[in-house]
Chain A
C-alpha cells in the first residue's frame, strides 16, 4: 500500500499536465473557428471546445484511451484497423530482430574476449555502427536486401538486430571478462581448455550482464522495427499506423499507436525481467 499512493500521485500529475497542455494547444483551433464566424467565446466555451475535437493538436487522454479501447478490444484482431493486429506485426519483426541481435552480439563478444585481433578490429566498427542514424541506414538496408530478393519480416528484423546487437556486445564483453584472475588461475590449475572456461566460468558469470543488456536490446529492437516500417511505406505495423496517421492528420491514431508501442516495450522489458529473475534464482544468484 505504501507504494501505491506515490504511483497514483505521479500518474495523476501526468494526466493533469496532459489535459492542461491539450486545452492550451487545442484552444487555438477553437479560437480560430470563433474568429471566422465572428463570434466571441467565454473561457468555459473555449475550454469545452478543446475537448472532443476530431483532429486535435494534442488529443485528450480520454480520446486516446477511447481509441485504444476501440481498436484493441472492440475490433477483430484480424482487422486492418485493429491495433492488436498492427502490434502483432511489429512484435514479430521485433522478436526475430532481437533474437538475431542477441545471438550475433553474444558470438561477437565471445570472439572479442578470446581474440586480441577481434578485440582491436571488431569493437571500433561496432561502436561506429551505432554512430549512424538508424533513420538514414534503414532505407538502405531495405533497398539492398530487396534487390537481392529478401523481403517480408527479415529486412525489418535486420534493422532491429542492427540496433540490438550493440548493447549485447558491450554487456557480454564486460560479463565474459568479469571473472577475476584467481578464478582463471584456478581453471588453469585444472588445465581447462578455453571452451571449458567459457562454458563453466565465463558464460555463467556473464549472465547478470547479459540480462541487463537484453533489456536495453529488446527495447531498441522495438524502435528498430517501428523505424523500419516508416521508409518502406509499409501498410502494416505500428510504424505504418503512425505514418498513415501523420499523412491524414489523425493525431488520435498516432498517439494511440505511440502508447501501444510504449506498452509493448514495457511488456517486453518486463518479460526479460521475469526471465532474469527466474534464471538467476535457479542459479542461486537471486538479487
Chain B
C-alpha cells in the first residue's frame, strides 16, 4: 500500500525520467516520418511504466530515445538528472531487446558477464554478480550451458539477467516477451513482477498486449500513431502484490477497458 500512496503523491518520490516536449522525426526517402510528437512524461523512481500502442506509434522509439539510442529532434530528455548519453555512460539503465541476443559462443554465465567485462569490473566481482543475478532469474543451474541448449523463455531470462548484472537502477525492456507463447509469457510476467518488487528498479516496458501492460504496470502510457504521441496516461489502482488471478478482478478489467478505449480513441482520431 505504501507504493500506492507514493504514486498518488509523486512529489515525495524523486522522478528519474523526464520527457519534455520531445519530438523525433526520421528523414526517409519518402519524406519525413514523425515518430514522436510533443511527448511529455515523468517517470517516478520505482515505477513500472508500460508503453502500449499499435505498431508505428513510436513506443519503441521513445524507449530508444530514453536510452540515448535515438536523438530527439526537439525537446528535452533527462534520465537521473542527466542527458541520455551521459546517463548511459553512468550506467543508469540496462536494456532488454525483443530477441535475447545472447552470444552463441559464450555460456549463459559468459553472456551475463559480458557487460561486466566491458565495464571493467574485477574478476571476483564479476563472478559474484553473475552468480547472484542468475539466481535472481532462477538460472543458477544453467550457467555453464550454451544459449542453444536453453528454451526461448530461458534465453530471455538470461538476457534480463545480463541487463541486471551491473547496478543500473532503470530497466528498459522493448517487447521482451513478444516472441514467446502465452504460457511462458504469463510465467515470465510473474517472475518479472517478483523481480521488480525485490530490486526496487524503475522499469520501462514496451508491449502491444493489453493484459500484459495492465498486469505489470503501475503506470500505463497509451500511445497512438502518425504522429506518435501519448493519448492517455493511466495510473494503475492495482496493488503492488499481483497474483495471476488478479486479472479476473473488476479493477483489472476496468483498467484494461480504459487502455482499450485509449487505443481506440487514438486510432479513431487518425482515421477521422
B166 to chain A minimum Cβ distance, whole angstroms, is 8
B-side interface residues, number (CB < 8 Å): 25
Which residues of chain B are within 8 angstroms of A76 by Cβ–Cβ distance?
none
B115 adjacent to chain A (CB < 8 Å): yes
Among the 9-residue stretches B88-96, B175-183, B220-228, the one with 4 or more Cβ atoms under 8 Å from chain A is B88-96
Contact of A191 with B105 at beta-carbon distance under 8 Å, contacts A182-B97, A185-B97, A284-B146 already known? no
Minimum Cβ distance to chain A for residue B120 (Å): 10
Residues of chain A contacted by B114 (CB below 8 angstroms)? 190, 200
| Residues of chain B contacted by A185 (CB below 8 angstroms) | 69, 95, 97
| Cross-chain contact B118 with A189 (CB below 8 angstroms) | no
B69 contacts A190, C-beta separation under 8 Å: no
Inter-chain contact A182/B118, CB cutoff 8 Å: no
Contacts A187-B118, A189-B67, A200-B117 given; indicate if A284 touches B105 (C-beta within 8 A).
yes
A284 & B117 in contact (Cβ 8 Å cutoff): no
Is there contact, CB below 8 Å, between B89 and A191? yes
* A188 lies within 8 A of chain B by Cβ: yes
Q: How many residues on A have C-beta within 8 angstroms of the other chain's C-beta atoms?
A: 19
A143 within 8 A of B: no
Contact flag A189-B93 (CB < 8 Å), given A196-B118, A200-B114, A200-B118: yes
Nearest chain-B residue to A204 (Cβ)? B105
Cβ-based interface call for B107 (8 A): yes
B26 at the binding interface (Cβ < 8 Å) = no
CB-CB nearest in chain A for B147: A284
Query: Do A188 and B69 have beta carbons less than 8 Å apart?
Result: yes
Is B99 part of the contact surface with A, judged by Cβ < 8 Å?
A: yes
Q: What 1/0 mask marks residues of chain A from 273 to 287 whose CB sits below 8 Å from any chain B CB?
A: 000000000011100
- Contact A191 B88, beta carbon cutoff 8 Å: yes
Q: Name A188-218 residues within 8 Å CB distance of B.
A: 188-192, 196, 200-201, 204-205, 207
Tell me if B146 and A189 are in contact (CB < 8 A). Answer: no
Contact present for B103 and A201 (CB under 8 Å): yes
A132 at the interface (CB under 8 A from B): no
**Residues of chain B contacted by A191 (CB below 8 angstroms):** 88-89, 91, 118
Instruction: Report B93-114 CB contacts with A as 1/0, cut-off 8 Å.
Output: 1110111010111110000001
Name B90's closest neighbour in chain A (CB-CB): A191
Kindly name the residue among A183, A189, A283 whose own CB sees the greatest number of chain B CB atoms within 10 A: A189
Is A7 an interface position by the 8 A CB rule?
A: no
Query: Does any Cβ of B come within 8 Å of A136's Cβ?
Result: no
Q: Is the CB of A284 within 8 A of B88?
A: no
Give the interface centre of B89, B91, B118 by most chain A CB atoms within 10 Å.
B118
Is A285 in contact with B105, judged by CB distance below 8 angstroms?
Answer: yes
A44 proximal to B (CB < 8 A): no
Chain A contacts of B101 at CB under 8 A?
Answer: 182-183, 186
**B119 in contact with A190 (CB, 8 Å):** yes
B117:A186 contact, CB within 8 angstroms: no
**CB-based nearest A residue for B107:** A284
Residues of chain B contacted by A204 (CB below 8 angstroms): 103, 105
Task: Identify the closest chain A residue to B85 (Cβ).
Answer: A191
Residues of B contacting A196 in the complex (Cβ-Cβ under 8 angstroms): 118
Known: A189-B94, A190-B115, A191-B118. 10 other contacts (CB 8 A): A182-B97, A186-B95, A189-B67, A189-B69, A189-B95, A190-B118, A283-B104, A284-B146, A284-B148, A285-B105
Residues of B that sit less than 8 Å from A by CB: 67, 69, 88-89, 91, 93-95, 97-99, 101, 103-107, 114-115, 117-119, 146-148
Which A residues are within 8 Å of any B CB, using their own CB?
182-183, 185-192, 196, 200-201, 204-205, 207, 283-285
